[in-house]
Amino acid sequence: MEIHGTTILAVRKDGVTALAGDGQVTFGQTVLKRGAVKVRRLE
């Protein structure tokens, strides 16, 4: 089994930070889930 990571994008401007990531979970070439939440809000 090959394990791969994902891309998470972070942008900060004027003291405000935004994070984004794709919502797809794959196992090899098979898509297991298309609506995964990989970035969560921390308060």
Q: Where are any strands of DSSP class E within 1-43? A: 8-13, 16-21, 25-27, 30-33
Integer Cα distance of 12 and 18 in angstroms:
6
6 is catalytic: yes
Active site residues: 6
